[in-house]
C-alpha cells in the first residue's frame, strides 16, 4: 500500500507533472540494446541475500482499491516498453531544451510501471549518448535515485553512503516537540500565513501547463566550497544565498526596484543514517516540505548570505519539518484523500517556488565502461507553484536547473546566469583576500609544485591506483555474491575463514580508496589555489539541535604553531558533499625568519609525513 507521502504526490492536482526528470550525459558508444541489458540485469533483477527485489516498484503498477492505492506486480512487464529511442533527432542544447520541455509535462502511462528512459544518440559535437530518465515521484525521491545509480547501475559500487541533511540524532527530539506543538503550528500556518503576491505569482491569462527548462554549465564546486569555508557557512547556505541574489536581480530587471521577500518550498530529507555496511536506500518518498522566506528584500550578496544562514539555522533548530511530515500522515489516515490533499496544498501552494538540493556522487562514475560526464536533475513543483529550482552536485561540479510555467517565466535562463554571476563573480571576488578557518597564509605555488614533484607520485598514477582499487573491490563483491548463492559447504570453518579474509580485504581497500581520494582532492584544491579547511565546519549534514552560531569577526594571528593533521581513515559511510579531508598546513608563527635550504625543507616535509603516518596508524588501530 502507498504511504501518505507517496500518495501526496500521486494525488497531486498536477499529477501529470509530479514526475522527477533527469538527464545523464554519457560518452558515446552505448546503444539501445546495451542500455536495456544494463538496466535489466543490474537494476530490475537486483535482489537481496534473501531473494527479495531491491527495487520492486520498478516492476509494479499502482491500482486503486476501496481502502487506498496498492502496488501490484506487472505480469506483462517488458523492458522494451520503458527504454526506447527518443522520437525526434536532438543534436544541440537548444533542441534538447525544447525536447525536455515538451516531454516533461506529459503524464506516464498508468497501465505500466511509472518510469521510462528515452535514449538520445550522437548529441552535440562530441556525439555523446544522453539518457532522459523520468520517474513518478510516488515511486521514489532524489536521494534513493542517487543510491540506485551508484550502487546498482554504475560499474563500481565503492561510493560513500549519503547522510541526511536534517535527520540524525535530532529527529527523535523533533518528533517529541512536534507532538506537543504540531497541531498549533499546522493550524497557524493554515489560517495565519498569506500567499505570496509577486511577479512569479501573477495570474495566468491562459490555463496552460506548458513548461520550459534551463540548466547551467558545470560550476566549479571547490570554488563554492572555499566560499563556504571562508564564511563558516554550509554549502546549502552559499547556494541559497546566491540564488537569493539571482532572484532579486531578475525581479529588478522586470521593474520591481525593491522586491519583497520570497516564500519557497524547501525539501528536507528525514532519513536516518543507513546501517553500517548497507549501501542501498529503500525506494520511497522520505522527505518533508517546509516554507521558508528568503531575503530578496535585502541588498548585497554577503548580507543576503548572513540572512539566509540565520533563517536556515532557525529551520534546523525547529520542528517545522517534522510537523509537516507528521501532518501529512495524520491527515491521510483520518480524512478522505481529497480533503487531506486540499489542506496540505493550502499551505504549500502559497510559496513562489520550490527549491531542492541533491548531493550526488563525489567521484566520477562509469556505466557500461562509458564515463558519466554530467547529470541534470529536475524536481517537480507542487500544484500552483510556478517554478522549481534544483541543485545537483556530481564529482567536483555543481549544476543548477530550472523548470517553470511557460506563461509565468518564458525564459528561465536569466535565473541561471545571475546565479553563476553571484557565486563566481561577486562572492568569490569579495572574499578572495579572506582566509579559510585554520589557514595562516597561502603557500607559494612554486613551492607546492616542487614538493609535489619531489615527494609525491603524479596525478595520473594516483588515478590509476584509484581505478585499480575500484576494480578489485568490484571483483571481490561479485565473488562474495557468487559464494552467497552457492549451496553451503560441509566445511563451515573453511567458508568462515574465506569470508573473514574477504571482509578484511574489503576494509583495507576502503581505506586505500579514502586515502587516494583525499590526496586527489587535495591536489585539486592546491592547483585551484583553494586550501581545505581543517575544521569540521559543515553543519549541513549533522542534524543536531543547536543554537544559531555567532560569526567570528576575525581570526587571531597569535595561534600556536602547529601542524594541523586530520585523519583520512574515517569510515567510508560519509556524506558525499562533505569537505573534511586530510591537509597539512603551516601556521604563520611556525615559519623561521629565513627560508630553509632545499635539504632542510625536504627533511621538514619528511618529518611531517612520518607524523602523518604515525597518526593514521593509530587511527586505524582504533578503528
Q: Could you give the domains of the chain?
A: 4-431 (3.30.559.30)
**58 vs 112: CA distance, rounded Å:** 10
Could you tell me which residue, 483 or 326, shows the higher pLDDT?
326
% of the chain residues with pLDDT over 70: 74
The β-bridge partners of 131 are 24, 119
- From 71-75, 108-112, 142-146, 571-575, the region with the lowest mean pLDDT: 571-575
* Apex 466 CA angle, 465 and 467, nearest 5: 90
Residue 557's pLDDT is 38
Residue 553's pLDDT is 39
Residue 452's pLDDT is 53
Average pLDDT of the chain, as a whole number: 78
pLDDT digits (tens, 9 = 90+) for 153-183: 998 765 555 555 564 556 677 788 888 999 9
Could you tell me which residue, 510 or 218, shows the higher pLDDT?
218
pLDDT digits (tens, 9 = 90+) for 47-70: 888 888 999 999 999 988 877 788
pLDDT exceeds cutoff 60 at 606: no
- From 73-77, 239-243, 555-559, the region with the lowest mean pLDDT: 555-559
Residue 166's pLDDT is 60
- From 73-77, 93-97, 162-166, 490-494, the region with the lowest mean pLDDT: 162-166
**Mean pLDDT value of segment 338-345:** 90
Q: Is 481 exposed, middle or buried (0-12, 13-18, 19+ CB in 10 A)?
A: exposed
pLDDT exceeds cutoff 80 at 254: yes
Read off the pLDDT band of 528 (50, 70, 90).
low
Check if the beta carbon of residue 247 is closer than 8 Å to that of residue 142.
Answer: no
Cell of 70: 496498492
Residue 550's pLDDT is 44
Q: In Å, how far are 13, 138, 348, 374, 523 from 135, measured between CA atoms?
A: 17, 9, 22, 19, 38
Could you tell me which residue, 601 or 480, shows the higher pLDDT?
480
**Mean pLDDT value of segment 193-205:** 80
Helix, strand, or coil here: 443? coil
pLDDT digits (tens, 9 = 90+) for 546-594: 444 444 433 333 333 333 333 333 333 333 333 333 333 333 333 333 4
The β-bridge partners of 69 are 64
Could you tell me which residue, 235 or 1, shows the higher pLDDT?
235
pLDDT exceeds cutoff 90 at 72: yes
Non-local CB neighbours of 425 within 8 Å, separated by 6+ positions: none
- From 305-314, 343-352, 611-620, the region with the lowest mean pLDDT: 611-620
Helix, strand, or coil here: 594? coil
DSSP secondary structure, 225-263, as one string: HHHHHHHT--HHHHHHHHHHHHHHHHHHHTT-SSPPPEE
Residue 156's pLDDT is 79
**19 vs 388: CA distance, rounded Å:** 12
**Mean pLDDT value of segment 206-218:** 84
Residue 158's pLDDT is 57
Residue 480's pLDDT is 76
Residue 609's pLDDT is 56
- CA end-to-end distance (rounded Å), the chain: 42
**426 vs 487: CA distance, rounded Å:** 63
Residue 237's pLDDT is 93
pLDDT digits (tens, 9 = 90+) for 290-305: 999 999 999 999 999 9
φ and ψ at residue 196, rounded to 5 degrees: -65, 140
pLDDT exceeds cutoff 80 at 388: yes
Phi-psi region of 185 (alpha: psi -120 to 50; beta: other; left: phi over 0): alpha
Read off the pLDDT band of 134 (50, 70, 90).
very high
**325 vs 329: CA distance, rounded Å:** 7
Read off the pLDDT band of 17 (50, 70, 90).
low
User: Would the pTM count as exceeding 0.75?
Assistant: no
Q: Which residue, 100, 91, 98, is CA-closest to 122?
A: 91
Whether the CA torsion 323, 329, 335, 338 is positive or negative: it is: positive
pLDDT exceeds cutoff 50 at 151: yes
Could you tell me which residue, 363 or 512, shows the higher pLDDT?
363
**Mean pLDDT value of segment 376-404:** 92
Read off the pLDDT band of 539 (50, 70, 90).
very low
Amino acid at each position: 500500500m502507498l504511504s501518505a507521502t507517496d500518495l501526496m504526490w500521486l494525488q497531486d492536482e498536477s499529477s501529470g507533472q509530479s514526475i522527477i526528470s533527469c538527464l545523464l550525459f554519457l560518452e558515446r558508444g552505448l546503444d539501445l540494446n546495451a542500455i536495456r541489458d544494463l538496466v535489466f540485469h543490474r537494476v530490475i533483477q537486483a535482489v537481496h541475500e534473501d531473494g527479495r527485489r531491491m527495487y520492486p516498484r520498478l516492476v509494479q503498477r499502482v491500482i486503486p482499491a476501496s481502502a487506498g492505492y496498492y502496488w501490484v506486480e506487472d505480469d506483462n512487464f517488458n523492458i522494451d516498453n520503458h527504454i526506447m529511442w527518443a522520437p525526434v533527432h536532438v543534436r544541440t542544447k537548444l533542441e534538447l531544451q525544447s525536447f525536455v520541455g515538451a516531454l516533461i509535462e506529459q503524464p506516464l502511462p498508468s497501465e505500466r510501471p511509472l518510469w521510462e528512459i528515452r535514449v538520445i544518440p550522437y548529441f552535440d559535437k562530441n556525439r555523446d549518448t544522453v539518457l532522459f530518465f523520468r520517474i513518478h515521484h510516488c515511486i521514489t525521491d532524489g536521494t534513493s535515485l542517487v543510491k540506485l545509480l551508484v550502487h546498482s547501475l554504475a560499474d563500481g559500487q565503492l561510493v560513500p553512503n549519503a547522510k541526511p541533511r536534517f535527520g540524525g540524532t535530532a529527529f527523535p527530539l523533533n518528533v517529541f516537540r512536534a507532538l506537543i506543538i504540531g497541531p498549533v503550528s499546522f493550524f497557524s500556518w493554515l489560517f495565519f500565513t498569506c500567499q505570496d503576491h509577486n511577479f512569479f505569482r501573477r495570474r495566468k491569462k491562459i490555463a496552460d501547463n506548458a513548461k520550459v527548462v534551463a540548466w547551467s554549465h558545470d560550476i566549479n564546486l571547490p570554488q563554492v566550497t572555499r566560499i563556504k569555508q571562508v564564511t563558516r557557512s554550509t554549502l546549502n547556505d552559499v547556494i541559497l544565498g546566491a540564488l537569493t541574489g539571482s532572484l532579486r536581480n531578475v525581479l529588478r530587471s522586470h521593474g520591481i526596484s525593491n522586491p519583497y521577500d520570497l516564500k519557497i518550498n524547501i525539501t528536507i530529507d528525514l532519513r536516518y543514517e543507513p546501517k553500517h555496511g548497507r549501501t542501498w536506500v529503500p525506494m520511497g518518498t522520505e522527505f518533508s516540505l517546509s516554507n521558508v522566506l528568503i531575503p530578496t528584500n535585502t541588498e548585497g550578496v554577503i548580507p543576503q548570505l548572513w540572512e539566509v544562514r540565520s533563517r536556515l539555522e532557525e529551520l534546523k533548530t525547529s520542528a517545522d519539518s517534522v510537523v509537516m511530515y507528521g501532518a501529512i500522515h495524520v491527515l491521510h489516515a483520518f480524512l478522505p484523500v481529497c480533503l487531506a490533499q486540499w489542506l496540505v496544498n493550502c499551505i504549500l501552494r502559497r510559496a513562489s517556488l520550490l527549491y531542492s538540493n541533491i548531493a550526488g556522487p563525489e567521484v566520477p562514475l562509469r556505466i557500461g565502461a562509458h564515463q558519466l560526464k554530467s547529470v541534470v536533475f529536475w524536481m517537480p513543483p507542487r500544484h500552483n507553484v510556478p517554478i522549481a529550482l534544483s541543485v545537483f552536485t556530481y564529482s567536483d561540479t555543481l549544476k543548477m536547473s530550472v523548470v517553470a510555467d511557460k506563461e509565468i517565466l518564458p525564459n528561465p535562463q536569466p535565473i541561471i546566469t545571475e546565479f553563476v554571476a553571484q557565486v563566481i563573480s561577486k562572492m568569490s571576488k569579495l572574499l578572495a583576500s579572506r582566509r579559510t578557518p585554520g589557514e595562516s597564509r597561502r603557500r607559494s605555488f612554486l613551492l607546492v609544485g616542487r614538493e609535489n614533484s619531489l615527494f609525491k607520485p603524479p596525478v595520473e598514477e594516483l588515478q590509476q591506483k584509484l581505478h585499480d582499487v575500484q576494480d578489485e573491490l568490484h571483483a571481490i563483491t561479485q565473488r562474495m555474491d557468487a559464494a552467497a548463492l552457492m549451496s553451503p559447504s560441509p566445511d563451515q570453518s573453511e567458508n568462515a575463514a574465506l569470508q573473514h579474509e574477504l571482509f578484511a580485504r574489503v576494509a583495507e581497500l576502503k581505506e586505500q580508496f579514502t586515502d587516494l581520494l583525499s590526496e586527489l582532492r587535495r591536489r585539486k584544491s592546491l592547483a585551484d589555489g583553494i586550501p581545505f579547511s581543517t575544521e569540521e565546519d559543515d553543519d549541513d549534514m549533522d542534524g543536531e539541535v543547536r543554537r544559531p552560531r555567532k560569526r567570528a569577526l576575525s581570526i587571531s594571528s597569535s595561534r600556536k604553531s602547529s601542524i594541523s593533521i586530520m585523519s583520512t581513515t574515517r569510515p567510508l559511510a560519509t556524506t558525499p558533499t562533505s569537505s573534511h579531508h586530510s591537509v597539512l598546513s603551516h601556521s604563520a608563527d611556525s615559519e623561521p625568519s629565513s627560508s630553509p635550504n632545499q635539504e632542510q625543507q625536504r627533511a621538514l616535509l619528511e618529518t611531517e609525513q612520518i607524523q602523518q603516518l604515525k597518526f593514521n596508524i593509530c587511527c586505524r588501530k582504533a578503528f
